């Protein structure tokens, strides 16, 4: 079993690789090789039983994708993308990377002639606008940002390439992943980790929305578990629509802060500054939040039990040492 993780330098890609190395098997087969690919060469996950490689890959360049996806590739995780606020600011880059990059990967997978499994990470940003609540697996995709539109196009491509028998595709609309380790990125949702991560590390953070703001969350640890389960779902169980919501849970910002306080005490919350940022609020307010991920739950994916768990996972897995 040879696995390629495109976007393997990111938080989720690195954690996914580490968990696959620890498991040593996927889809009932022993893993021989994991290749981590990204625009900059990713860090290699230590391993004694599985060969782990790292390569550079620009998904907007078909030749780069062709060199990255070998003929013996069995499973492709397509995690790479430029994130929401970046895609909104740079229209051309968003479509070149998020849309054409996805098409390049799918075309290379098609050219293999082996119908590899392709796991595509989409986003809840595909929903929005004038569609009624609640959002179900059959709700019209109606994105209100360029990033959401690019992900919606990717979903349609994954479903169509699967229908034609070119790939065995499955796509999962990720909730906002929190608490993410590392530095803030250009995602509009980046503050949903930074308002927790930075205070937990004794640093000040800015919250650009009010405490009543509702959103849909999942921890990195459970996201990785779901991505592995997602690759293992039998093709016949996926049905005609290959893309679905990944389970998450809805919480207000005040719930996140309360969870942090319950786990880590009152001091971190005092480091949050509440400063409105209208452009960020405009983007995130266009996302829809009353989500009912019935299909993925039936297929064995799951959400976190509480946001206290999200805080604990960050402290256990990612908080830098003294």
Contacts of 83 (CB under 8 A, 6+ apart): 147, 185, 186, 187, 188, 190
Which strand ranges, in their side-by-side order, compose the sheet holding 176-177? 176-177, 214-218, 249-252
Beta carbons of 304 and 249 less than 8 angstroms apart: yes
H or E element at residue 158: helix 146-163
Helix, coil or strand: residue 122: strand
CA torsion, points 250, 253, 255, 257, in degrees to nearest 10? Answer: 140
d(CA 138, CA 295): 10
Active site residues: 147
């Amino acid at each position: 079993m040879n696995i390629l993780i495109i976007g393997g330098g990111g938080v989720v890609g690195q954690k996914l690789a580490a968990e696959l190395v620890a498991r040593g098997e996927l889809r009932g087969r022993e893993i021989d090789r994991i290749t981590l690919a990204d625009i900059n060469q990713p860090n290699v996950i230590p391993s004694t039983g599985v060969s782990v490689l790292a390569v550079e890959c620009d998904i907007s360049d078909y030749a780069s994708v062709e060199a990255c996806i070998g003929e013996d590739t069995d499973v492709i995780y397509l995690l790479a993308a430029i994130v929401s606020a970046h895609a909104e600011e740079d229209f051309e880059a968003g479509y070149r990377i998020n849309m054409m990059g996805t098409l390049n990967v799918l075309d290379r997978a098609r050219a293999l002639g082996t119908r590899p499994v392709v796991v595509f990470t989409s986003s809840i940003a595909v929903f929005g606008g004038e569609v009624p609540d609640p959002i179900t697996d059959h709700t019209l995709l109606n994105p209100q940002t360029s990033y959401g539109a690019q992900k919606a196009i990717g979903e349609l491509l994954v479903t169509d390439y699967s229908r034609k028998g070119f790939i065995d595709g499955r796509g999962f609309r990720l909730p906002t992943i929190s608490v993410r380790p590392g530095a803030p990125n250009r995602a509009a949702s980046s503050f949903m980790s930074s308002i927790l991560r930075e205070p937990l590390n004794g640093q000040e953070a800015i919250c650009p929305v009010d405490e009543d703001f509702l959103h849909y969350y999942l921890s990195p640890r459970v996201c990785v578990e779901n991505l592995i389960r997602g690759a293992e779902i039998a093709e016949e169980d996926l049905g005609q629509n290959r893309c679905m919501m990944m389970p998450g849970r809805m919480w207000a910002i005040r719930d996140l802060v309360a969870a942090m306080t319950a786990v880590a005490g009152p001091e971190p919350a005092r480091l949050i500054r509440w400063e409105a940022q209208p452009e960020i609020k405009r983007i995130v307010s266009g996302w829809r939040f009353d989500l009912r991920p019935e299909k993925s739950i039936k297929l064995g994916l799951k959400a976190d039990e509480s946001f206290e768990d999200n805080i604990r996972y960050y402290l256990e897995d990612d908080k830098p040492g003294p």
